[in-house]
Structure 1
Amino acid sequence: MDRDVVDPEFLVRPAPRFQLGLGVPAHDYEVLQRRARAAEAGGFSFVAVGDNPSLIKDTYVSLTMLAVATDTCRIGTAMTDCVHRDMLVTAAAMSSVESIAGGRTFLGISAGRARTPGTMKQLREFVVALRELWGRGETTFHGERVTLGWSARPVPVLLGVSGPRGLHMAGEIADGAICEAGVDEETLARVRSNVTTGALAAGRDPDTLEIWHSLKTAISERRDDAMYQITPQLAALGAVALGRNPEKMGVPEQFRSACRDLAERYDMTAHLRTDDENPNRKLILDPDFREYVLDRFCLVGSPEDWVGRLDGLKERGVDRVFCVGLVPDLDHYIDLVGRQVLHAAPQSPKKG
């Protein structure tokens, strides 16, 4: 298929089997729009851009390009933050994009990790003020009265949170969350409990909130090739996501020492490298620990592996997955997921 052209057959296919969101880097707007159109045609539920001015083009301009390039899929940020963006500017910018996208925009926002990290308190203040501004046209933020004097449309707010406090807050004040705590059964139980507790404390129905689970992904026609792609990210997950405080992250006792050891040996200078010489490829040798990290954080393998994994996650109650990954060919990734995962025919039950 010519990847510059959306396959017209996709436009008449039945609804996709799964809800998958996709993050796309905004380096080149022509490429961004082409990939967004292909993702929409393939059945992805949303296309998101990040917010890192030192590495990618401006987030709000990128969202505008997505809004005019797509017709049906949602578009949004994953993630902007509450420290480096002005609250009023964020409200006006997202509402402006929404006036083009017509009911398809969402704001993914976190406390932030780059430069000056924010706090849960700052995130709460930002989101509460933002929603008041959209709802009433005015709010008080940091002691200042702020107004929005035009008919700005509100958009859903999804908090980028993974810990108990953040998930409780998502249930209390947001429309949902994009969570990267993991999808193993124990972690999922904690995530649901925290979100539900927050929602009920605020008199809200937890079933009205949308929870997206962020997973590291790799796909190839051959499972071994996909596993090779994901290997450096497995080490990063074990070292960075778990290794700093495995007890707090709910890591089973048998893997805690492996997490701490991995955190000590992990080479941060190679953190985003995908080449064959990345030293982090050789760090996870214990097959049981490797399987634990894969099950908790990843979606990896052939298209058939993906379908089986996603069906299994549905049985655990996971029905929305945000796909994140450092892949060698994003165009092929989008095409393969669309054709062989999102539009895969359900298998008939085996007889006898």
Structure 2
Amino acid sequence: MDFGLVLQTDPPASRVISLMKRAERNGFRYGWTFDSAVLWQEPFVIYSQILAQTRRLTVGPMVTNPGTRTWEVTASTFATLNDMYGNRTVCGIGRGDSAMRVAGRRPDTLARVAEAVRVIRALARGEEAEVDGTPLRLPWVRPGAELPVWMAAYGPRALRTAGEVADGFILQLADPYLTAYMVRAVRDAAAAAGRDPSGITVCVAAPAYVTEDDSPGALAHAREQCRWFGGMVGNHVADLVAKYGDRSEAVPRELTDYIKAREGYDYAHHGRSGNPDTAFVPDDVVDRFCLIGPPEAHVEKLNALRELGVDQFAVYAMHDAQERVVDVYGTAVIPAVARTS
């Protein structure tokens, strides 16, 4: 199992770069960031510095979207980084949540996401693709250029789309039941589309908070530091409920039931511990969606996720112990998972 670190690009950028370097030293292979141009600094500028100051780390957005950047610009940006640093980028993509809504736009359609996956991947490889009816190619892209495109998804149509077109599937929660359900849906869709299901990389991304022990006080603090995540996921779940209803067989109740008390969401607190709009998230959802507790609890859950077909766990580190989670994963968690693989 690979490991990634997910950060917001809050200033100063030097801290983001420093944490990514720390992650590489601790055995992490991927460095991810949010991509929301109004809320945070421009990630692609920061990627260039991360790549320059690391040797093996692969970087990319978790996630970008087809609406805030034109597709040829997105492809060109990735291709430029790969030309400079040697195919060390990955494009995570979705419909768009904070990036689109903060700018007054609606998330993109799944049809548009699917087309963007094909176009961005092809252009970044130096292949021809059609953008708004015009055939385009980046003539300076050298042979051997690659760009895997991984799609984030929750709902049945999005899961099907990921299986049909994406190189990887990003699931932003770590609940074993839901992971099994959604990985199966993606792989079934890949098989139905004539693709090799085993060729799709599965990445689970969620907050991880390492405690000294499993005492009630330690776990309570960890939950408060990670409760924001249930609110962030709740934005996507609310969209699913609006589309399918809260008792639809198309969406598991294990995903939808907890948002009944959700009243709204202010993106000014998006992805941050202490978010006041996430008080509705119950403790059991935090426990299911996140990894909290002493190192051995993390190892146990990660091994369970690996058995379900998860290839990478990406640590959301938006809490008060960023350095500690990176270091403890490097000394106690990643080696333990490797020993049991």
TM > 0.5 fold call: yes
Given residue 166 of structure 2, which amino acid in structure 1 is its aligned partner?
A
Give the 5 Å matches for 1:32-71: 32-71=16-55
The correspondence of residues 86-101 of structure 1 with structure 2, limited to 5 A, is 86-101=70-85
From the superposition, tell whether residues 136 and 237 of structure 1 become closer, same or farther in structure 2 (CA, over 3 Å).
closer
Corresponding residue SS for 1:211: strand
Contact 1:240–1:263 (CA<8 Å) still a contact in 2? Answer: no
Moved over 4 A (4+): 237-244, 265-273, 277-281, 345-348
| Secondary structure at 1:44 match in 2 | coil
Instruction: Give the match for residue 78 of structure 1.
Output: 62
Structure 1 residue 294 and structure 2 residue 287: aligned? Answer: yes
Q: Which structure has the greater CA radius of gyration?
A: 1
Q: Give the SS at the match of 1:48.
A: strand
- Structure 1: unaligned runs, 5 residues or longer: 1-17
Structure 1's 337 and 227: CA in aligned 2 closer, same or farther, altered over 3 A? farther
2 CA distance for matches of 1:87 and 1:164? 25
Quote the residue 2:186 is aligned against: 195
Deviations 1:312-350 (A, max 9, x none): 3233333421222421132222112212211348899xx
1:54 to partner: Cα distance:
1.7
Shift of 1:96: 0.9
Q: Which whole-Å CA distance do the structure 1 matches of 2:229 and 2:53 have between them?
A: 34
C-alpha contact (below 8 Å) 1:213/1:320 kept by paired residues = yes
CA contact (8 A) 1:217 1:230 kept: no
Q: Which range is displaced more, 84-93 or 50-59? A: 50-59
- Secondary structure of the equivalent of 1:159? strand
Once residues 171 and 345 of structure 1 are traced to their aligned partners in structure 2, the CA distance between those partners, rounded to angstroms, is 27
User: Compared with structure 1, are the counterparts of its residues 119 and 19 closer, same or farther at alpha carbon in structure 2 (3 Å cutoff)?
Assistant: same
Within the alignment, does 1:210 sit opposite 2:201 as a pair?
Answer: yes
Q: In structure 2, do the counterparts of structure 1 residues 108 and 273 end up closer, same or farther at CA, with 3 Å as the change threshold?
A: closer
Report what 1:333 is aligned to: 325
CA 1:234–1:109: 2 relative to 1, 3 Å: closer
Match of 1:274 in 2: 273
Aligned to 1:250: 252
What secondary structure sits across from 2:18 in the alignment? helix
Q: Which residue of 2 aligns with 1:7?
A: none
The Cα of 1:57 is off from its aligned counterpart by 2.0
Identity %, equivalent residues:
24
Q: For the structure 1 residues 278 and 89, does the alpha-carbon distance in structure 2 shift closer, same or farther, using more than 3 Å as the test? A: closer
Matched residue, 1:179: 171
In structure 2, how many angstroms separate the alpha carbons of the residues matched to 1:168 and 1:268?
Answer: 28
Structure 1 residues 88 and 251, CA gap change in structure 2 (3 angstroms): same
Query: Which residue pairs with 1:158 in the alignment?
Result: 150
Deviations 1:229-272 (A, max 9, x none): 3333365268545567343541159x83x541x21488888665
1:125 to 2:115 alignment:
yes
Secondary structure at the residue paired with 1:72? coil
Aligned length: 320
Does the CA-based 8 Å contact 1:303-1:336 persist in structure 2? yes
